[in-house]
Amino acid sequence: MSKLPQWVGRLGTGLTRLAHRLESQQAEMRGREGDGDTGPRMPPGPGPGPERGAEPRPGPGPGPSEERARAAESAEGRKSPEGPESPASPETPEGAAGEGETARPEQPASVPAPPAYAPAVSARPDPVAAVPWGVRVAAEAAWRLLVLGGTVWVLMRVISSVQLVVLSFTVAILITALLEPTVTRLRRRGVPRGLATALTFIAGFVVMGLVVWFVVWQVMENVDEVSGEVQAGIDDLRRWLLHSPFHVTEKQINHVAKSLREAVGANTEQITSAGLEGVTVVVEVLTGILLTMFSTLFLLYDGPKIWNWTLKLVPARAREGVAGAGPRAWSTLTAYVRGTVIVALIDAIFIGVGLFFLDVPMAVPLAVFIFLFAFIPLVGAVVSGALAVVVALVTQGVFTGAMVLIVVLAVQQIEGHVLQPFILGRAVRVHPLAVVLSVAAGSLIGGIGGAVVAVPLVAVANTVVVYLRGYSQENALRAVPGPHGATASGTAPTAPPGLPPGEGGA
């Protein structure tokens, strides 16, 4: 029984070979009938013959017997299950296949449609196409705003950590913008750069130190007089309230005074701690003054070198635009500082003269305060004017206080509508809303120092943004290819009538 499968396999193989030989003989007979050959027929078999794909040997052309042998061999190769299968053509005419071949079924050209009773299934749309255009735009803008907000938050955290250094360097830049024109004038007169820088630096800080010393000296000299006048003014205010139409009673006034005394007593510990913290504040102020002085000195002497070194930190593709925006930003900052100093000086002189003629005590220190507070746009003028009005009201009475208020308002109106547009011009024009918001943000971040440097920083940023926008538009226009061919001939300038070619105006 174990040899039966082998015998059946050999029998099948023999039958297959016999079928192949019969098919070869039938193919040979069809070929001979088609060619009209009546010569002797060569039996097919594995006899010697030309190999498939071999080049023909030179000599007389092949005879009919060789052609029949080749046809038989090719037919055997196509029909043999062990040989390579020849690719079937998509369209086979009737009768082209052999008698023993089975025709292959044709492949359908397309998938048949589903039956009518099948439920309709809608195709799922593309997820990107399913999102509305407005939502996609909002999402694109949202993640960019998140990245920008995160960057600003990190920057603010870094600035808060080194607030003293940042404010000192920013104030040094403002002082440098004020003193740098003097260094330039001295150098034009032949003074060496080092000597011009030293003279300007020493003179500038000596003047600023004298101003601060004068203010402190005037306040200390008049503090006792002002205290007595303030106490007398409070008594006058109390009497006026008692006889005013507001019907304020003595009991109510005493209750308010008692509440103030209790509040002061309850907060004695906090006031003491604040006094201890005042020592730390003094140390920080001295440190900031030293940092400002050293930064100003080196900015005056090596300003161009520092700027060139800063440009090397900028990527090469953006370096040209930043190099063009830098001088314009510096011109804006210089114009702002110079114009603010002139406007503040005019305000201080006119309001100080008014205070002097109205016999208000500490007129000169109040004028100096007005000059210093003028560096805080809008807010500083209001605070300094209110301080002058309060001192006049408490020390000299209601009429003097009203007159001081009129003087302050008149000077500020002249400043806002005449002096600032004429002196500052359009170079540093910033919208009042931007001024108020920048002063508020600067005061929250850096206190009084932040309020002082906020507006010039906004003005410089505005100048830089405007220049870079114009620079990018100009580069985009340069990148557009110029007209050529028929377009160039159509847009080329032509000479006016009556002039020979080539002499037209540009």
473-502 pLDDT per residue, tens: 888 887 776 655 555 545 545 544 444 444
Rounded Cα–Cα distance for residues 485 and 118 (Å): 62
Q: Tell me what pLDDT residue 428 has.
A: 65
Which pLDDT band holds residue 364 (cuts at 50, 70, 90)? confident
152 contacts 439 by C-beta, under 8 angstroms: no
What percent of the chain clears pLDDT 70, i.e. is strictly above it? 69
Which has more pLDDT, 146 or 480?
Answer: 146
Which pLDDT band holds residue 46 (cuts at 50, 70, 90)? very low
Which has more pLDDT, 428 or 255?
Answer: 255
Q: Which of 271-285, 336-350, 426-440, 485-499 has the lowest mean pLDDT?
A: 485-499
99-112 pLDDT per residue, tens: 444 445 555 556 67
DSSP state of 247: -
What percent of the chain clears pLDDT 90, i.e. is strictly above it? 6
Write the DSSP string, 438-466: HHHHHHHHHHHHHHHHHHHHHHHHHHHHH
Does position 165 have pLDDT exceeding 90, yes or no? Answer: no
344 contacts 368 by C-beta, under 8 angstroms: no
Half-sphere exposure of 151 (CA within 13 A, CB side): 6
Other C-beta atoms closer than 10 Å to the C-beta of 300 total 22
Q: Tell me what pLDDT residue 78 has.
A: 46
Which pLDDT band holds residue 296 (cuts at 50, 70, 90)? very high
Strand, helix or coil for residue 344: helix
306-335 pLDDT per residue, tens: 988 988 888 888 888 888 888 888 888 888
201 contacts 300 by C-beta, under 8 angstroms: yes
Render the burial of 382-414: b for 16+ CB within 10 Å, e for the rest.
Answer: eebbeebbebbbbbbeeebbebbbebbeebbee
Helix (H) or strand (E) holding 386: helix 379-396
Q: Which of 203-212, 239-248, 347-356 has the lowest mean pLDDT?
A: 239-248
Q: Tell me what pLDDT residue 44 has.
A: 47
Which pLDDT band holds residue 398 (cuts at 50, 70, 90)? confident
Strand, helix or coil for residue 306: helix
Q: Tell me what pLDDT residue 425 has.
A: 62
CA separation (Å) from 8 to 18, 82, 326, 398, 414? 15, 19, 99, 135, 123
Which pLDDT band holds residue 48 (cuts at 50, 70, 90)? very low
Strand, helix or coil for residue 60: coil
Give the largest Cα separation in the chain, rounded.
154
Q: Which of 82-86, 116-120, 447-451 has the highest mean pLDDT?
A: 447-451
Does position 379 have pLDDT exceeding 90, yes or no? Answer: no
Which pLDDT band holds residue 270 (cuts at 50, 70, 90)? low
Which has more pLDDT, 293 or 108?
Answer: 293
Give the amino acid at 77.
G
The pLDDT of 419-436, averaged and rounded, is 71
Strand, helix or coil for residue 383: helix
The pLDDT of 79-102, averaged and rounded, is 43
Rounded Cα–Cα distance for residues 318 and 476 (Å): 14
Which pLDDT band holds residue 147 (cuts at 50, 70, 90)? very high
241-255 pLDDT per residue, tens: 777 777 777 777 777
The pLDDT of 377-398, averaged and rounded, is 82
Which pLDDT band holds residue 369 (cuts at 50, 70, 90)? confident
Strand, helix or coil for residue 158: helix
Other C-beta atoms closer than 10 Å to the C-beta of 163 total 17
The pLDDT of 40-53, averaged and rounded, is 46
**Phi and psi angles of residue 117, each rounded to the nearest 5 degrees, phi first:** -80, -5
Half-sphere exposure of 367 (CA within 13 A, CB side): 22
Token pair for 331: 């011109």
Does position 278 have pLDDT exceeding 70, yes or no? Answer: no
